[in-house]
Chains A and B, each alone.
Chain A
Amino acid sequence: MTIKPSHIAAAKLKVATAAKTGESVPDWIRELATRSLTDTIPSQESLSIPAFRTDADAGNTNAMVNLGLLYMEQGEPNQAKEWYRKAADAGNTNAMDHLGLLHMEQAEADQAEQWYRKAADAGNTSAMDHLALLLRQQGEHDQAEQWYRRAADAGNTSAMVNLGFLHVEQGEHDQAEQWYRRAADAGNTNAMDRLGLLHVEQGEPDQAEQWYRKAADAGNTNAMVNLGLLLRKRGQADLAEQWWRRAADAKRSEA
């Protein structure tokens, strides 16, 4: 069997994921992973932009969006805007949504709203959720609720959480719980955290703990903090500190 560069790259991926998940890796894969790829392939940093660029130049709008995201991550918003704009002009609604986010970051709410609306009208549920948040910030609660509902009905779990929160603000805890539950069942950890809060407010600490724990185990740092608070209230200060420490570690690695 001839060993190809992709075999070595696959072994490196296997060993790297195993280091995080705790999965055991056979020795022959570990040995393969020690072999060098540097002579055959450039590093990820040096290949990402040219690789996306090739696809973007060929008219692939998803590559244009990815290129924009990459430029954003590298702190080059003007370059990002250029590629988002090209993709948006070609009809890519994700690009429109990202353009909206970029304008929001640059405190250009009117332009952000235009792009969110264009994407939302074309059925992009993330843009509906972002548009609703913008409208809520502008005090347009009825319009915000309508957009949250449209996005939530179409399966957007972030909108379900936000719609749930609107119901909490209006004192409609049953309806809030329904939306949080729908989002939590779909795996949204913010929804699990909110369900925990709701149960705390309703004097049901055991159910609250279940939801916090589920969200915390999935990596939600707010839930880790809340679970710590709940445990501390019960006098389990050591356990509480463990969760807060995990939350702090998770935040540090995100930064």
Chain B
Amino acid sequence: MLTPAEVAFIVAGIALLGTGATVAQKRFADRRDAWWGRTQWALERIIAAQGDDMQRTVGLVVLTSLQASSLATGEERRMLSEVADAMLPPPPSALPSAMSQ
């Protein structure tokens, strides 16, 4: 059975049907814009990093946080997964344990 909160949400959703652009839609679009703006920034940081591993790492850490957002679509997560692929080292037989700075 649905909880009272879920029923309230569905009723609210039904009440919106047939209206034009809603404030909720616009707010969602604004949050998406904000999400995408930060994603672009992080991607640019990675691309511009060249030999600067710290800059590249900063970009990847930000992307990891952004991909967890409900604002990210499946397609965007797959794109970010490909970015990760491009930044990974080649598959080793045994990874060294020491990390360089």
Complex Cα–Cα for A228 and B9 (A): 13
Complex Cα–Cα for A41 and B62 (A): 11
Tally A residues with Cβ within 8 Å of B: 72
In the complex, which residue of chain A has the Cβ closest to the Cβ of B28? Answer: A254
In the complex, which residue of chain A has the Cβ closest to the Cβ of B55? Answer: A6
Complex Cα–Cα for A228 and B65 (A): 32
Which residues of B are found within 8 Å of A197, using beta-carbon distances?
17-18
Contact flags B28-69 to A (C-beta < 8 A → 1, else 0): 111101100110010001000000011011101111110110
Contact A40 B99 (CB under 8 A): yes
In the complex, which residue of chain A has the Cβ closest to the Cβ of B94? Answer: A28
Contact B99 A17 (CB under 8 A): no
Which residues of B are found within 8 Å of A165, using beta-carbon distances?
20-21
Tally B residues with Cβ within 8 Å of A: 62
Would A9 and B60 be within 8 Å (CB), given that A73-B34, A219-B73, A250-B70 are in contact?
yes
Contact A40 B101 (CB under 8 A): yes
Instruction: List A residues 1-23 near B (Cβ within 8 Å).
Output: 1-14, 16-18, 20-21, 23
Name B's interface SS: helix
Complex Cα–Cα for A166 and B60 (A): 43
Which residues of B are found within 8 Å of A9, using beta-carbon distances?
56-57, 60-61, 64, 87
Contact A7 B87 (CB under 8 A): yes
Complex Cα–Cα for A89 and B99 (A): 46
Please tell me which stretch of A31-39, A116-124, A202-210 contacts chain B, meaning at least 4 of its Cβ atoms lie within 8 angstroms of it.
Answer: A31-39
In the complex, which residue of chain B has the Cβ closest to the Cβ of A253? Answer: B70
Partner of B41, one of A8, A66, A130, A158: A66
Which residues of A are found within 8 Å of B9, using beta-carbon distances?
247-248, 251
Contact flags A204-230 to B (C-beta < 8 A → 1, else 0): 000000000000001101100110110
Contact A158 B70 (CB under 8 A): no
Contact flags A39-53 to B (C-beta < 8 A → 1, else 0): 011011001100110
Which residues of A are found within 8 Å of B78, using beta-carbon distances?
17, 21, 23
Contact A13 B83 (CB under 8 A): yes
Which residues of A are found within 8 Å of B58, using beta-carbon distances?
41, 47, 51
Which residues of B are found within 8 Å of A14, using beta-carbon distances?
81, 84-85, 88
Which residues of A are found within 8 Å of B67, using beta-carbon distances?
13, 16-17, 20
Question: Is residue A133 within 8 Å, beta carbon to beta carbon, of the partner chain?
Answer: yes
Which 9 residue pairs across A and B have the least CB separation, nearest first?
A9-B60, A10-B87, A14-B84, A225-B13, A69-B34, A13-B84, A17-B81, A253-B70, A44-B65
Query: Can you list 13 A-B contacts with CB-CB less than 8 angstroms, sorted by A residue number?
Result: A3-B100, A4-B89, A4-B99, A6-B87, A13-B60, A16-B67, A21-B77, A32-B95, A51-B41, A70-B38, A101-B30, A228-B10, A244-B6
